Amino acid sequence: MAKKKSTKNWLHRHSSDRYVKLSQSGDYRSRAFHKLHEINEKYKILKSSKNILDLGSAPGSWSEYISRNFDNKNLVAIDLIEMKSIRNVYFINGDINKKADREKIINKMNRADLVLSDIAPNITGIEDVDQANFEEILESVLDICFDLLKINGVLVMKFFIGSSYDSSREKLKKSFDKVVVYKPESSRSSSNEIFFVCNGYKD
Ligand SMILES: C[S@@+](CC[C@H](N)C(=O)[O-])C[C@H]1O[C@@H](n2cnc3c(N)ncnc32)[C@H](O)[C@@H]1O
C-alpha cells in the first residue's frame, strides 16, 4: 500500500512538472533537451560550434535538439545503448570508458569544437561507488578532449555533487581557462545534478 502511494506521488510530481509537459508537447525523445536549451541560452555554446560530440546521447533529445535547430553541424553521438537514428547524426553504440570505442569516435571526428557529456553512470546509491564512477567518466571525457578537442574548444559535462566534486572541478580547471558550474531550472532541485561548463581548452 505504502509503495502504491509513493508511486502515485511520483507520477503526480512527474506529470505536473512543466518541463515534462513541454517535452511531451514538443515530441522530443525526453525532457533532457530543456537542459541543453537552457545551457545554450546562457552560454551560447552551439552557434559557433561546427563539429560536436554528444557523449551518452540516448535516447537522443540533445542530438535531436541540435539537429532540428541548427544547420550545418557535424554531429557524432555515442551511447552504451542503441539510439534511433536522427538526421545528420552519426551514432556509435559504445562505451566511452573503452579505448577501442574512443578510437571509433576519432575515426569519425578528429577535431571537435564542442564536447557534450550528459552521461549518468548507473546510480547505486552508494556514495563512494557513484563518485568513483563519475571520476572514471571524467577521466575518459578528458582523454577524449585530449585526443580531439580543439584548442579553445568547449566542454559541457554533467556531474553529481558529492565527495569528488571539488577535486574534479580542480582537475577540469587545469585543462580549461574557465570552468563554471550551472544548474538548469529544468534539472530537478532535489537532484545533485549540475553541469560543468568549461571554456578555453588548453590541451
Ligand atoms: C541522461 S542519459 C542521456 C540523455 C540524452 N542527453 C538525451 O538528451 O536523450 C545518460 C546516458 O548515458 C549513457 N552512458 C552511461 N555510461 C556510459 C558510457 N560509459 N559510455 C557511453 N554512454 C554511457 C547511458 O546509457 C544513458 O543513455
| pLDDT of res. 165 | 93
What strands lie across the sheet with 149-160, from one edge to the other? 89-93, 74-79, 51-55, 112-117, 149-160, 193-201, 176-182
d(CA 56, CA 62): 10
pLDDT digits (tens, 9 = 90+) for 56-91: 999 999 999 999 999 999 999 999 999 999 999 999
User: Is the CB of residue 35 less than 8 Å from the CB of residue 29?
Assistant: no
Residue-range definition of the domain harbouring residue 109: 29-201
User: Is the CB of residue 90 less than 8 Å from the CB of residue 84?
Assistant: no
| pLDDT of res. 120 | 87
Percentage of the residues of the chain whose pLDDT score is greater than 90? 75
- What predicted TM-score, i.e. pTM, was given to this entire model? 0.89
Q: Is 60 in the pocket of ligand 1 (CB under 6 A)?
A: yes
Q: How many domains does the chain have?
A: 1
Q: What's 100's domain CATH number?
A: 3.40.50.150
d(CA 74, CA 147): 17
Q: Is 81 in the pocket of ligand 1 (CB under 6 A)?
A: yes
In a domain, 13, yes or no: no
Which of the four pLDDT bands, split at 50, 70 and 90, describes residue 17?
low
Give the residue numbers marked as catalytic. 158
Section 103-123 average pLDDT = 94
